[in-house]
Chains A and B, each alone.
Chain A
Amino acid sequence: MFFQFGGEDDVSDADAINELSPVAPPVTKKRNRTRSIGVLVVLLLAIVALLSQGILHSLNYFETVDQVLANRASFGTEIMRLEGVVKPGTIIRTSTGASFYVTGSKGEVFVKSHGTPPQLFQANIPVVVVGHFTTKSSMNFDGTQIMVKHTASYIAKNPSRVKAPNGTVR
């Protein structure tokens, strides 16, 4: 890399063969800079592409039931992601999907969703439903996809094996 060695074809006389002292390194600075800039440009484009995906789908991934109820008019019938907790006793599974209520602290929204719900879908679990309200003032939400947003808490199925920090059995 730092030494240039001529091939047999490059050598025309014995002096040149005996001249084995290192020669000046080739001019690589410009090439290095060009390559580095190339890498950074490609990198920047990749990040912009990823960010645009994130921003297109919005950094805040969903609207909560409370946010929607507080500002219902602004959402109209546009496609959105609605987050709330599945109200116990309201799940009705059909051949085409499921209907249920999602609740917040200030109210609830009726959801009729098409498609098979995820494996973890159940009462009292937070869900994010992709869809839209059926009319501009309606509180009925027509869903096309249900995603389960499970909590960060883990509790073992066998309650006698796990104790909370205060000693109570969870």
Chain B
Amino acid sequence: MMKQLSQRLFGPLTLTAMGVNLVLGLWIVPPDKVQGELARLVYIHPSVAWVALYVSFGTAAISSALYLWKRTRSVVMDRVAHCAMEVSVVFIALTLITGSIWGRPAWGVWWVWDARLTSSAILGVLALGYLALRRANDDPQLRARRSAVFGVLIAINVPIIHFSVQWWKTLHQGATVFTSNRTLLIHGIQAWTLLISFIAFTMLFFWILRYRYRLEVLRENIAGASLEEALSARRREGAQS
């Protein structure tokens, strides 16, 4: 009962959180002292990047690792890893797009090949590579094993992206929230709105993931049913002749 209720409420709650973030970010929070109205992108781009890098890619990597561990190996882990990586591709693309939209007026350029942007682009290629690897393997078990190994290996790029602004000199700004000395560089209503944006986009990810997972289960069921139907049809043909 409670589970059903929470499942039903999750969608509306996500939409509410996204709406609150939009209203706060676009209208209520004052513009930034230096960046002016441009800073409103801080309530979209960092949270989208957070989901792309840590939440979705993290979910895919952890599910992959759990699939490789014998005690937790199951088709569920494989499905979750696959679905999370698909959603991750969307969020990585959104990260690069919103970053470019912000970069053009703020930096003066759409794109630069600095360490942060290059490693983020590589993450997108790796995520697409994961999906291509899945399609390259017909055998479900082989596919699950190979993609799980690959999913765990490519996760090494996530800390590289995270620390790129500390390890190398980049045009991309340093961390505002996850700073090396744990000092917030944003305060008041700006900080609260940023927190809401992180929560809203995280909820959005899990909402999309849930529906993508259900779609995957349905797809597998339909494929199984088609096989059963074909077998029955052939049996009927055999009986008639």
Contacts and interface: CB of A to CB of B under 8 A. Distances in A.
Interface of A: 1, 3, 5, 14, 17-18, 20, 28-29, 31-32, 35-36, 38-40, 42-43, 46-47, 50-51, 53-54, 56-57, 59-62, 64, 83, 117-121, 125, 128, 145-158, 161-165, 170
Contacts of A145: 108-109
Nearest to B117: A54
A32 B139 contact: yes
B35 A150 contact: yes
Interface of B: 29-36, 38-39, 42, 105-109, 112-115, 118-119, 121-122, 125-126, 129, 132-133, 136-139, 142-143, 146, 168-171, 173-176, 179, 184-190, 227, 230-231, 234-235, 237-238, 241
B32 A156 contact: yes
21 contacts: A5-B230, A17-B238, A20-B238, A32-B142, A36-B133, A39-B129, A46-B129, A53-B113, A54-B115, A57-B113, A59-B115, A61-B168, A121-B108, A145-B108, A147-B108, A149-B107, A151-B34, A154-B39, A156-B188, A157-B33, A158-B30
A120 B34 contact: yes
A148 B113 contact: no
Contact of B136 (A38, A51, A118, A164): A38
B146 to A, nearest CB: 6
A161 B176 contact: no
B83 to A, nearest CB: 19
A73 B101 CA distance: 38
- Pick the most buried of A62, A117, A152: most chain B CB atoms within 10 A of its CB: A152
A161 B191 CA distance: 12
Contacts of B112: 57, 61, 147
Contacts of A119: 38, 105-106, 108
Contacts of B171: 61-62, 128, 147, 149
A150 B173 contact: yes
Nearest to A54: B118
B32 A155 contact: yes
B176 A118 contact: no
Contacts of A146: 108
Nearest to B134: A39
Contacts of B230: 5
B115 A163 contact: no
Contact of B137 (A32, A120, A153): A32
Contacts of A50: 118, 121-122, 125
A158 B32 CA distance: 8
Given A61-B114, A161-B189, A152 B176 contact: yes
3 closest Cβ pairs, A-B complex: A118-B108, A35-B136, A54-B118
Given A51-B118, A152-B185, 4 more contacts: A36-B136, A57-B112, A128-B171, A156-B32
Given A31-B138, A39-B129, A50-B118, A152 B107 contact: no
Contact of A157 (B32, B107, B118): B32
B176 A154 contact: yes
A163 B190 CA distance: 11
A83 B168 CA distance: 14
Contacts of B238: 17-18, 20
B146 A36 contact: yes
B162 to A, nearest CB: 14
B81 to A, nearest CB: 17
